[in-house]
Structure 1
Amino acid sequence: MNSDRTLALSVLDLVPVRTGQTSAQAVVATLEVAATADKLGYRRYWFAEHHNMPAVASTTPPVLAAAVAARTEQIRVGSGGVMLPNHSTLIVAEQFAALAAIAPGRIDLGLGRAPGSDPVISQLLHQSGTAPGAETFPQQVREITALLDPAGAGVRLRGGEGYAVRSTPVAVAGEIPQVWLLGSSDFSAKLAAELGLPYVFANHFGGPGLSDALATYRDTYQPSEAFPKPRTILTVNASVAPTAEEAAERMLPQRRTMARLRTGLPMTAQETVEEAQATPLPGPAESYATKSGSTDPDRLKEVVDTPDNALEQLTAFAGRYEVDEVMIAPVAGAYDGEPIDRAPGAEQTVRLLGEALG
């Protein structure tokens, strides 16, 4: 995006899978959304990591990032994020070093510590042992940043001698991935500040602690060579359409998916708008779906409106918390009969917001 713009926009994609759609069709649809974001000057396009969810095809961020990097020209691509407890630090570093070789200067590595799954899947991800606990996460992040550095990481062997480890044979400083820390608590904010890393607050989850986390991050920030000043992103769910009524209708399937997740109902593929309108959820879930649609101007979990109004809300939100950019999750759903290999609501949201920004 041009530096004179007052708001920088990025995209967080979970690759939603709706009724009647295959994973392959959902990925094809995502590539179209990413191409739209690239043409309109969005800054980043990140993929989340979730496992064994019928409505989500974003299980492997580096693979999806590679596909988008190959089909775009300027947008940065990466993860939002790789759930580090699920992976070897060396493997993650190697994957993203390879991505940086494919798209130099365009790769971001967002790191989180949530499992992105249920306990059964977590166990399957760690068949050789137990998953690392939260207490090991800071060391894992340090290992990642060292492995991605051109100098590599030093390992001390039992005999006392050093052993050099690199994620790629020859890395170039200006082309290596940017490492971002993701979170929604003081823990992640303090760690990002201590390590001199940029910070993403997962605001789209709607949890508390936004103001405190940002204040902690900024007040305790330790400048690093890569990031002399603190940098911040806030995430927001988004459904944008020509009319507010359409935007609200397209948001309904996402609200119901989250209601199912939060109240323990069986998960399904994301409904179409008509399916979501046809049958109320059981009491607690329906109440959650309705409540999740509320918008607090001080905690903008979601924006559901026309392009100009949505942009105004996002700009005010970014200004209120003095963040560098807003990352939208374009979760707008589809109507019956819309192309199965496209994500019309998401594509429309990205296009209309980008055009409104100019």
Structure 2
Amino acid sequence: MAPLSLSVLDLVPVRTGQRSADAVAATVALAQRADELGLTRYWLAEHHNMPSVASTNPPVLLGVLAGRTERIRLGSGGVMLPNHAPFVIAEQFAVLEAAAPGRIDLGIGRAPGSDPVISALLRSTGHTSDVDAFPNHVQDIEALLGEDGAGLRLATGEQYVVRATPAAAGRPTLWLLGSSDYSAELAARLGLPYVFAHHFSGEGTARALDLYRTQFQPSELLDAPRTFLTANVVAADTAEEAAQLALPQLQHMARLRTGTPLTALDTVEDALEASMTEPQQDLIGAMRGRWFIGEADDVAERLAAFAERLEVDEVMVSPGAGARRTDPIDRVPARERTLDLLAARIPQGVPAAV
């Protein structure tokens, strides 16, 4: 098997019986394990007001992980920029870069990541129209993070320089994230690294990567296209065990997509006893076909083939294994086991550009 870089995407899942503190402790343990295994990155998503997700504030959580890990790159996957003032994000990630030099990635997404009420609460303006200003805001952040900062023209005609940090020794790597042709074309036009959210949509990946690669315009930050893939993964010692471990997350996603009120994630035992509607069962079947679920050797081989087919040297896995009733309240052993099994079977490579 050819060398392949492995990374992790985490939403900090919250299961039945857990408090937020327990879920965060489980994420710290998972990040430390990824660090020990030599994985490349550990990214945190941004979601709000969901009983099953504790990843509400990536910069804060990344600060926690920076102090509890040694070498792994840490980043957002991603910050939902329409929810935030670009200057605030630039300052937050400049501080993270200062605290963990050379280890910080700033992944930016265009979707609000929540409903209009939450978006209004997050933005002092109370508007969600900043989605339309997304390209300009991405460029603003790029400038603010640079050594020279960004220049503002005041009403008086004076030039006012703004910097995200007073004396930057380096800058976080800026990534554009998306699940549409729009994001691929924007990343290409701006000359930024790009990641298509295959784990989220499962469709259009090859087209988006082709658009990005063929339309890419070199920039001061990047002289050639740079990308990797994301995937939902559950690896176990047997295919039957993996199927059971994947069930809580699959059922949860089916409930989300059919408008069913959400709760914390079920345990594996509760999921095996749960009753799902026919439309939900259809959704679960479709998602199961796009996930990488199974015995460890099989999952490793399919992931390697997936990366080779789409010509990438890195795959970021979202470990979707659930917890059993007897598991420690502050750990998810099956998620850690997924990383152990993959790292033991896939030769760890180094991406062409970390």
> So what's the TM-score if we normalise by structure 2?
0.95
Distance 1:315 1:223 in 2: 28
Distance 1:330 1:208 in 2: 19
2:304 to 315, 318, 327: 315
Other structure's SS at 1:71 match: coil
Pairing 1:183–2:178 present: yes
- Aligned twin of 2:248: 253
Whether contact under 8 Å (2:2, 2:304) holds in the other structure is: no
* Aligned-residue RMSD, C-alpha: 1.4
| C-alpha distance after superposition, 1:317-351 (max 9, x if no partner) | 11111123111001110111111110112111112
1:157 to 154, 163, 187: 154
Of 103-112 and 329-338, the range deviating more from structure 2: 329-338
2:97 to 90, 97, 100: 100
Pairing 1:237–2:232 present: yes
2:126 to 118, 122, 129: 129
Other structure's SS at 1:326 match: strand
2:34 to 33, 37, 44: 37
| C-alpha distance after superposition, 1:290-330 (max 9, x if no partner) | 33212xxxxxx321122222111111111111123111001
Distance 1:123 1:171 in 2: 32
1:72 alignment partner AA: T
1:323 alignment partner AA: V
Deviation of the 1:132 alpha carbon: 2.9
- Aligned twin of 2:261: 266
Deviation of the 1:248 alpha carbon: 0.9
What is the percent sequence identity of the aligned residues?
Answer: 57
1:116 alignment partner AA: G
Deviation of the 1:127 alpha carbon: 4.3
1:339 alignment partner AA: P
**1:53-132 equivalent positions in 2, closer than 5 A:** 53-132=50-129
2:141 alignment partner AA: I
Other structure's SS at 1:211 match: helix
> So what's the TM-score if we normalise by structure 1?
0.94
Distance 1:110 1:120 in 2: 24
2:258 alignment partner AA: T
Distance 2:59 2:130 in 1: 23
| C-alpha distance after superposition, 1:222-249 (max 9, x if no partner) | 1123321111111100111111111111
Task: Report how many aligned residue pairs link the two structures.
Answer: 347
1:302 to 277, 282, 291: 291
Distance 1:132 1:324 in 2: 36
Whether contact under 8 Å (2:179, 2:201) holds in the other structure is: no
Distance 1:206 1:116 in 2: 14
Q: Following TM superposition, where does structure 1 have runs of at least 4 consecutive aligned residues deviating by more than 4 angstroms? A: none
2:166 to 169, 178, 181: 169
* Ranges in structure 2 where 5+ consecutive residues have no aligned partner: 348-354
Other structure's SS at 2:234 match: strand
Distance 2:82 2:259 in 1: 24
Distance 1:215 1:287 in 2: 30
2:158 alignment partner AA: E
Distance 1:47 1:132 in 2: 25
* Ranges in structure 1 where 5+ consecutive residues have no aligned partner: 295-300
